[in-house]
Amino acid sequence: MMLQLTHIRLLVNNYKDCFFFYRDVLGFWIDWGDENSGYAELHTGDSLKLALFRKDFMAEAIPSAYLPSASDCHNKMALIFAVDNVDDVYEKLKERNVVIVTQPLDRPAWGLRTAHFRDPDGNLIEIFSNLGSVN
């Protein structure tokens, strides 16, 4: 059996704010859906889609006995995006009053410069760029 990952779907409480955040602040094109549809697919490249889905819509399909508690879900995943310049993107996010988690920081052991922030639903997002050759 071969599984093919096609989507990363964020189940969000605040769908409309998340929709505008990913479209207007992060600049993703919308392949399907709008701010009122409750589901949207964002263009992220060739083969993987990032989707937003109203959490209450998903809950209708999953029996409540199988829903994790909020504390069980906190920071169990992060979206990671490569950028050309972490500092430039970080400054643009600050200007847009995005919730910042960490300022740009060189991480020589990783060979990366990173910064972290949250979307309107609290999902953790990392941006990174390569530091170049690690000596």
Domains, the chain, with CATH or none: 1-63 (3.10.180.10), 75-135 (3.10.180.10)
Confidence of residue 24 (pLDDT cuts 50, 70, 90): very high
58-105: pLDDT as tens digits = 777 666 655 556 555 556 678 999 999 999 999 999 999 999 999 999
Mean pLDDT across 29-58? 89
pTM for the structure as a whole: 0.79
- Average pLDDT in the chain: 86
- What does the DSSP assignment read for 29-78? EEEE--TTTSEEEEE-SSS-EEEEEEHHHHHTTS-GGGPPPHHHHTTS-E
